[in-house]
């Protein structure tokens, strides 16, 4: 479950990044992490801190509905 959930979040983050015309290099630089780490987050291979997620949300202007959607998806897949 955790791996699937990370992959889902990563996919959403990649889509928002691309919609905002950010390269992976630019976003990584703005949030202060390596491009390798951001790539692993987007592929669902790595967790990151809440602080990094918040930075991404602010920079990419991710709407609060995204967070509500993620919470609901997580609740629906809990065992």
- Domain architecture of the chain: domains with CATH: 2-76 (1.10.260.40)
With H, G, I as helix, E, B as strand and everything else as coil, classify residue 79. Answer: coil
Confidence of residue 60 (pLDDT cuts 50, 70, 90): very high
Q: Taking the model in full, what pTM does it have?
A: 0.83
> Given this model, what pLDDT does residue 32 score?
96
Neighbours of 70 (CB within 10 A): 14
Token pair 């390798």 is found at 36
Region 7-36 average pLDDT? 95
Q: What percent of the chain has pLDDT over 70?
A: 96
Query: Residue range 10-22: average pLDDT?
Result: 94
């Amino acid at each position: 479950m955790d791996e699937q959930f990370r992959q889902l979040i990563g996919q959403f983050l990649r889509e928002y990044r691309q919609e905002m015309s950010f390269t992976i290099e630019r976003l990584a630089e703005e949030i202060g992490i390596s491009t390798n780490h951001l790539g692993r987050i987007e592929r669902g291979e790595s967790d990151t801190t809440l602080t990094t997620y918040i930075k991404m949300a602010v920079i990419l202007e991710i709407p609060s509905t995204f967070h509500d959607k993620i919470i609901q998806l997580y609740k629906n897949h809990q065992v």
